[in-house]
Structure 1
Amino acid sequence: MKLLLTSAGIKNASIRNALVDLLGKPISESNALCIPTAMYGHPWVGPGDKVWSFISGREPRTPMCELGWKSLGVLELTALPSIDEALWVPKVRETDVLLVAGGDALYLCHWMRQSGLLHLLPSLNNTVWVGLSAGSMAMTPRIGEDFVGWKPPVSSDSTGGTIDAALGLVDFSIFPHLDHAELPTNTMANAERWAAGISVPCYTIDDETAIKVSNGTVEVVSEGHWRHFPT
C-alpha cells in the first residue's frame, strides 16, 4: 500500500501532484472509496452534518472527495462486521484510493481491526491510502496521549498496554495542524513536548504539508511548515 498522510487533505498543488504520482494516473481516471468512520468518534465532527459534508465533497478547507474522481463510494467500517466479506472486499480490491477522514484516530484504529480492513491492507499493493489528520495518525505507532479521546474496550484491541497505540503501519508519528488558527495549543513548543514523550521518530506538519510513503521511502511534500524529530 502507498500512503499520502496529510494534515488537511489535498490542500495545494504540491500535495495534489504527489497524489497523482502515487496513483500513476489522473484523478479523473481513478476510483475512490471514502471512509468517514473516524468522524463518528470525535465530538467536533460527527455524527451529523459534517459527515455528510465530507462524503458529499463540501469541505473546501480539507479537500478530499471533491477532487473530481472517476467514481466515489463510501466504505463505512462500522457496518462491515455485520455483512459478508464477499460484499465489500472485492470493492476495496478494485478501488484505486481510500480517502480516510479525520476525527478520532483510536476510534478509526478500533474499527479497522474489527472490520477486517487492517488485515486486508498488506495485500493492496497498488492502492493509495490518503489520510486526513486522524486518518493519517492511525497509521503510526503512537498518537501521543495529547490526542487520546475515545478509548477502546480493553478486551477488543491489542495495543500492548499503551493507551495511545495506533496501527504502526509506518515507523513514525504525526502531530498535525501545526500553528492552526483555530487550534491554539497546536504550537511548535507543544509539538516538541509531544515528540519528547514518544519513542519513535516524529513529524509535526501544518495543513499545507503531507508525508508521502512509497516502497519504503518517506518524503515530506510541503508548501508550508513542518519539522522532523528524530529519536
Structure 2
Amino acid sequence: MKLLLTSAGISNTSIQNALTDLLGKPIAESSALFIPTAMYAITDGADIARKVICGTLGDPFCKLGWKSLGILELTTLPTVKKELWVPMLQDTDALLVGGGDCQYLCYWMQQSGLAKLFPSLLHKTVYVGLSAGSMIMTRYGTTYGNHTLPAETDKSLGLLDFALHPHLNHEWFPENTLANLEKLAATLPVPSYAIDDQTALKVTGNAIEVVSEGQWKLFTPDKTTNH
C-alpha cells in the first residue's frame, strides 16, 4: 500500500515531496479524485467541502495543481453501476479523502464497495488522507454523531495496526493537548501517533516514515518518541 496520512493536507514542502515520491511523478502530471463524504456529517459540511475543493480553507489539498481532479461521492455509488466508477478509480493516480466524521466515512466506504477494492487498488493509487480521512485507515476513529447510523457501526477500517491522532495542539481543537492525547493513547492496544498540522505519515508497504516540519509524538507500550 501507498498512503500519505496528513493532519490538515499538504501543509509544507516536506509533505509535498513525500507525495511526489509516492506518485512517482510530478503532481502536475497526476490525476486525483476527491472524496468529500465525511464532511457532510459535520456542521456546515457542504460549505466546508466547497471551500476545500476551491482551496479557500485549510492547507492545499485539492488545489495542488493536479493534472485533473474529479469528485467521488461515496453515498451515490451503491446506486451506480460499477463499470461507471471502478475503471475511473483504477486509472486515478491519487485518492484524496477529506476529513469530517470517521464513522460516517467508514460506513460509506464499506457500503459503496470502495473498502473492498483497497487491497488491490492501493498498490498503484496513492491514498492521501486528511484528518478523519487518515484516521479511518488505522485502528482508531472518532465520531461527531450527526447521523443516524447504527451505534455499532465501525469508526475505522483497521488496515494499519496503529492509531492516529491529528491536530496536535491546534487552536480549533483545544482538547488535543499532548497530555490529553497521551492519556487516550494509554487506553489503546496499539501504538499511537499524535501529529500536528505540519506532520504526516508516509506508509509504503509495511514501512512507516514520519514526515514533519512540526511536532509529533509516538506512544507505544514500551517507550515514547517525541519530536
Same fold, TM-score > 0.5, yes or no: yes
Aligned partners of 1:118, 1:182: CA distance in 2, in Å?
30
2:192 counterpart of 1:202: yes
Residue among 165, 168, 188 paired with 1:178: 168
Partner of 1:122: 119
How far apart, CA to CA, are the structure 2 residues paired with 1:68 and 1:13? 14
Alignment deviations for residues 99-151 of structure 1 (CA, whole Å, 9 cap, x no partner): 111101111100000000000111111110100000000101122xxx33237
| Aligned residues between the structures | 218
2:53 is aligned, of 52, 55, 60, to 55
Q: Which amino acid in the other structure matches residue 181 of structure 2?
A: A
Structure 2 CA distance for aligned equivalents of residues 62 and 76 of structure 1: 21
- After superposition, the C-alpha distances for 1:88-109 in whole angstroms (9 at most, x for unaligned) are 0000000000011110111110
**1:68 is paired with a residue of what secondary structure?**
coil
Q: Deviations over 1:42-62 (max 9, x none)?
A: 22x413x21111223332x22
For residue 132 of structure 2, what is the amino acid of its counterpart?
A
How is 1:84-99 mapped onto 2 (pairs within 5 angstroms)? 84-99=81-96
Which structure 2 residues correspond to residues 86-165 of structure 1 after superposition, within 5 A? 86-124=83-121, 125-143=123-141, 147-150=142-145, 152-153=149-150, 157=153, 159=154, 165=155
Map of 1:42 onto structure 2: 42
TM-score w.r.t. the length of structure 2 is 0.92
Structure 2: distance between partners of 1:57 and 1:183:
21
Matched with 1:66 is 63
- Tell me which residue corresponds to 2:182: 192
- Name 2:14's counterpart in structure 1: 14
- The amino acid across from 2:18 in the alignment is A
TM-score by length of 1: 0.91
CA distance in structure 1 between the partners assigned to 2:159 and 2:178 by the alignment? 25
Gaps of 5+ in 1: 160-164
| Secondary structure of residue in 2 paired with 1:169 | coil
Name the CA distance, whole Å, in 2 between partners of 1:58 and 1:72: 16
Structure 2 equivalent of residue 162 of structure 1: none
* Cα drift, residue 154 of structure 1: 5.0
Q: What is the CA–CA distance in structure 2 between the aligned matches of 1:206 and 1:138, rounded to whole Å? A: 17
* Structure 2 unaligned regions, length at least 5: 222-227
Residue of structure 2 equivalent to 1:214: 204
